[in-house]
Amino acid sequence: LPKVLINNEYYNEVLSTATQKKDKEYLNNKMSSANWLVRSLDQRAQTILKVASEIIEQQDAFFNYGIEFLKPLTLKDIAEEIDMHESTVSRVTNNKYIGTPRGIFELKYFFSTALVSEDGVSHSAESIRVRIQTLIDEEDAKAVLSDDKIVEILKSEGIDIARRTVAKYREGLHIPSSVQRRRQKKN
C-alpha cells in the first residue's frame, strides 16, 4: 500500500511564521490530526494484511490444488486465529480483493459455510457448487443428470447433501433443470 507521510519541513516552516498563539494552536491541532490519520491508515493496512495472510494460510489447499479444496471458513475462525473481533474481520474483508495465481478474488469469497457429511468430513458450500457445475458441464447429452442423480454421485464421493440443496445450488449457478437441459441438448 502507498505510504502516507507528513511533510515536517513544511510544517516547521509554516509554524515558524506563525506569530499569534491561536495560529500556533491551530497548526499543532492540525498536525495532531494528521499524525492520527497516518497512524490509523497504517493500522488499517496492518489489519488487512493480517486478515489476508490468515485467509491464505487457512485456504492453503485451495491455492495449491483448486476450488474443490476450498475449506469451510467463517469470520469467527479468522477472528479467533488473529485475536480480533469478528466485526473487525467483516469490515476488513468488505470490498477488498486479493490477486492470486488462481485469479482475483474478493476476500469474502473465502468464507463458506460447512456441510458436514455422515463420516464427519466438512465440505465448503462453494466447493460443492463447483462440483455440481463440473458434473453438469461433463454430462452426456444422452444422459442428462437429474438432481437426484447428482445427489447419488456426490454421496458416492462422501458428500451427503439433500436434493433440494442441489436444486438450490444449481439454480444459484443459473443452470436449468435436467428437463430443460435435455430439451436444449436435443436442439
pLDDT in tens, 42-99: 999 999 999 999 999 999 999 998 888 888 898 999 999 999 999 999 999 999 999 9
Amino acid at site 90: S
Q: DSSP characters for 51-64?
A: HHHHHHHHTHHHHH
pLDDT tens digit sequence for 14-54: 989 988 999 989 999 999 999 999 999 999 999 999 999 99
Q: Are strands 97-100 and 122-124 parallel, antiparallel or unpaired?
A: unpaired
Question: In 3D, which of 176, 102, 166 has the Cα closest to residue 131?
Answer: 166
The CA R_g of the chain, rounded to the nearest whole Å, is 26
Q: How far is 61 from 71, CA to CA, in rounded Å?
A: 8
pTM of the model: 0.67
Confidence of residue 119 (pLDDT cuts 50, 70, 90): low
Cell 467463517 belongs to 74
